[in-house]
Structure 1
Amino acid sequence: MTGGLRLGYKASAEQFTPTELLKFTVLAEDVGFDSVFISDHLQPWRHEGGHAPAALPWLGAAAARTQHVTLGTSVLTPTFRYHPGVIAQAFATLGSMFPGRIILGTGTGEALNEVTLGLEWPAPPERFQRLKESLQLIDALWSGERVTFDGAFYSTKNATIFDLPAKRVPIYIGASGPAATRLAGRIADGFITTSGKARELYTDTLLPALATGLGSAGRRPQDVDTLIEVKVSFAADRIAAMQKTRFWAALALSPEEKTGLDDPREMQRRADALPIERAASRFIVSTDVDEHVEAILTYARMGFRHLVFHDPGQDQETFLRFYGAEILPRLRTAGH
C-alpha cells in the first residue's frame, strides 16, 4: 500500500430524500471526506421507503452547497435513458461551473432503471458495446466541434458542446466483471467496484483485468483511480450493526436472483425474505474500531486507493461524525 488514500462518502440516493442527501454531503465535507458519490436510479431498490432523486440536478445543487469536495456518479448509465450527447453536455456544464470537482462515473445499467420506460433490455454483450460506444461519443464531443458520429447505437450530426471546462471531466467505469474492467484500464480515468464479495474476485479477476487493460494501452497504474464502495456497518452491539443492513438486503441477492428485475416491489419482496445474516453479508459488520479499520484496510492492501464508504443506517449524521473523528484519521495514517 503506497501513497495517500482518498476517502469518500456514498450519498445513498436509494434511501434518502435529495434534501437529506444535501445536508449529509455538506456535513461529509465538514468532517473531512474527500469525495461524495451518488447513484442515478429511476426507481429505488425498495418500493416502500425508497427514494430515487435524479443525479444531474442534485450534483449541481451539491456542488453549489460545498467548497472543495469531489462529486460524482456511482454510477450513471449513458446508454438508455440518456443519449450520450446529453450526458456530454450536462457534465461539461458541471465541470465548467465547478472545475476539478466533478466525476462522471458510468456503467452498463440495470433493468430496474430502464425497462419501466418501455426500453428493451438487451443481453450483457450489447450493454457493454453500448457503454463503450457512448464513451467514445462523449469523448469526441468533448474533443472537437461539429462532431458527426455514426455508430452502431448512437449518432450525431454536426454536434458541438460549447461550454467545455478548461480541464476535462474524468470518466470512471463501474464494473463487476473482467470485460468492463479491462475497458476501464484501457480508456477510463477511474475504475469503480463494490466491496463485500469473495476476495478472489478482486485479487484474481478484477485487478488483474485492470492491469491487462492498462498494459494494452501502454498506461501506468497511477493513470487510473481505483475506487471501491466499501459497505460498512458499525455499532456498539453486533446485532444492532447487522440490523442496520436490512434496508440494503437486496445487495446480497445473487445475480441470478435479481438480474433482469424491473419492479421495485419484487426486488423488495426477495430482499425481505433473506435472513439477516445474509442481508449483512456484503457489509463489514463491526463493534470494535481497530477491527473495523483493519477490515477496511484489506481493500487498500489489494490496491484500491479511493475508498467510498456506504453506511446502511438511518442516522447518517452520527455515522459521518464518527467516521470523521475516529476512522478517517486512522486510515490516512495507515495509507501513508
Structure 2
Amino acid sequence: MTIPLRFGYKASAEQFGPRELADFAVLAEEMGFDSVFVSDHLQPWMHDGGHAPAAVPWLGAVGARTSRVLLGTSVLTPTFRYHPGVVAQMFATLGVLYPGRIILGLGTGEALNEVTLGLEWPDPPERFQRLKEAITLIEKLWDDERVTFEGTYYSTKDATIYDRPSEDEKVPIYIGASGPAATRLAGRIADGYITTSGKAAELYTDTLLPALREGLEKAGRADDAIDTLIEVKVSYHPDHDTAMEKTRFWAPLALSPEEKRDIHDPLEMQRRAAELPIERAASRFIVSTDPEEHVEKIAEYVDLGFRHLVFHDPGHDQEEFLRMYGAEILPRLRARFAE
C-alpha cells in the first residue's frame, strides 16, 4: 500500500471560539489543505484568551460546510470524560454523515482535561491500559451487532450501534503518542499514528519510529500499512520578530513533561509559561521568514517517513497564515515531492 503525501491544518481549539474556528477550517479547504484536525480539550493551555469548543459537534458543523477535507481529532481521550461506547456512537454518526472523511484520533489524555471534573488521574501505565481496552470496545461496537463486554475498566450489556458506516466506509482509528509503548500499540493495531514536531531529533530516529516499526513487525504488517501523521509547528511571517512573538500564546508547549504533567488549572499553566523567555517559547516551532527554509525543515520530517503533515501556526491571525501558507508553502512542498 502506498500512503499518499498529505498536508493538513491544525485548528487551534485552545485559541479560538467555535464559529471563528469553523471559518478557518472552511478557508483551509479553499486554500488546498487536505485535512483539518482539532484537539478535544475541556480546558485550554492558557486561561486569558483561551477557548475550548467541544470537538465532536464542531466536526459535525465543519463537515456540513466542507466537501473534501479529511476531518479528525488530534486527539480525543476515550477513557475518562467519555465512555468508549459513546465515542463509538458519536464517530459512527460522523462517519455516516461524511463517509470517507472522518478520522478518530485517540490518546491517553492529560490532567488538564480530566481532573477538573473530579476524576482521579492515574499513572501512565493505567492510562495506557485504559486506552487499549477502549479501542477494543469501540471496534467491537462497530463490528458486531450486539456487544456484551466485560473489561477491567469498561463494560456493556447487549449494546448496539444502530447507525454506523458500511464496512468499506469505517472510520479509521489513529493513536497519538509521544512515548514508545503507545507508539508500538499504534503499529500493532491502529490505522494511523500521530505525534508532534519540534522535539530532539533522536526522539524520532532512536525511539518513536523504531517503536512504530516494532509494532508493525509484531503484527505482521508492512512498513507502510498505516498513515504516519505529525503535527508540524510553524511560525511563518515576513517579519522575524513577528514570527517569534506569535509563539508566545503557545509557550506551554515548551514546558517539559515534568513541568506540566500534573497541572489541571489553565491559570497555573499560564503562570509557568509566562516565565519562559521568547526563545524557549519558540523552540518547538519552525520560525522563519523564508518559505524555502520552511520547505527544507518540513522536508526533514518527510524524509523520516511521515506522510501526513498537519501544520499548526501559533498566531492570532489564522486567515493570514492560511492564505500565506496555502499560496507560498504548499505549492513548493507539492513540487518538491511531486513523485
Query: Which of the five TM-score ranges fits, normalised by the shorter chain?
Result: over 0.9
Counterpart mapping for 1:151-190 below 5 A: 151-166=151-166, 167-190=169-192
- Separation in structure 2 between the aligned mates of residue 221 and residue 89 of structure 1, nearest angstrom: 31
* Deviations 1:264-285, CA, capped at 9 Å, x for gaps: 0000000011000000000000
Counterpart residue identity of residue 22, structure 2:
L
Counterpart mapping for 1:43-192 below 5 A: 43-166=43-166, 167-192=169-194
Shift of 1:221: 2.0
Shift of 1:237: 2.1
- Separation in structure 1 between the aligned mates of residue 237 and residue 214 of structure 2, nearest angstrom: 40
Structure 2 unaligned blocks of 5 or more: none
* Deviations 1:77-103, CA, capped at 9 Å, x for gaps: 000000000000000000001000000
- Separation in structure 2 between the aligned mates of residue 233 and residue 260 of structure 1, nearest angstrom: 28
Counterpart residue identity of residue 146, structure 2:
R
- Separation in structure 1 between the aligned mates of residue 333 and residue 149 of structure 2, nearest angstrom: 45
Shift of 1:145: 1.3
Q: 1:242 corresponds to which residue?
A: 244
Q: 2:295 corresponds to which residue?
A: 293
Counterpart residue identity of residue 299, structure 1:
Y
- Separation in structure 2 between the aligned mates of residue 193 and residue 53 of structure 1, nearest angstrom: 22
- Separation in structure 2 between the aligned mates of residue 283 and residue 91 of structure 1, nearest angstrom: 31
SS in 1 for 2:231: strand
Q: 2:12 corresponds to which residue?
A: 12
**Kept after mapping to 1: 8 A contact 2:3/2:224:** no
- Aligned counterpart for 2:224 among listed residues 222, 225, 229: 222
SS in 2 for 1:104: strand
Shift of 1:333: 1.7
Point out the more displaced range, 235-244 or 32-41: 235-244
SS in 1 for 2:81: coil
**Kept after mapping to 2: 8 A contact 1:41/1:54:** yes
Shift of 1:238: 1.7
Give the root-mean-square deviation of aligned CA atoms.
0.9
Task: Determine whether 1:324 maps to 2:326.
Answer: yes
Quote the sequence identity (%): 75
- Separation in structure 2 between the aligned mates of residue 93 and residue 241 of structure 1, nearest angstrom: 40
Counterpart residue identity of residue 139, structure 1:
E
Shift of 1:236: 1.6
**Kept after mapping to 2: 8 A contact 1:174/1:180:** yes
**Kept after mapping to 2: 8 A contact 1:107/1:174:** yes
TM-score, normalised relative to structure 2 = 0.98
Q: 2:233 corresponds to which residue?
A: 231
SS in 2 for 1:320: helix
Shift of 1:323: 1.2
Counterpart residue identity of residue 70, structure 2:
T
Q: 1:303 corresponds to which residue?
A: 305
**Kept after mapping to 2: 8 A contact 1:8/1:37:** yes
SS in 2 for 1:285: strand
Counterpart residue identity of residue 114, structure 1:
E
* Deviations 1:181-213, CA, capped at 9 Å, x for gaps: 000000000000000000010111101100000
For these two proteins, the number of residue pairs brought into alignment is 335
Counterpart residue identity of residue 44, structure 1:
P
Runs of at least 4 residues of structure 1 off by over 2 A? none
Counterpart residue identity of residue 214, structure 2:
T
- Separation in structure 1 between the aligned mates of residue 218 and residue 41 of structure 2, nearest angstrom: 33
**Kept after mapping to 2: 8 A contact 1:4/1:332:** no
- Separation in structure 2 between the aligned mates of residue 112 and residue 4 of structure 1, nearest angstrom: 34
- Separation in structure 1 between the aligned mates of residue 334 and residue 161 of structure 2, nearest angstrom: 39
- Aligned counterpart for 1:203 among listed residues 205, 212, 219: 205
Structure 1 unaligned blocks of 5 or more: none
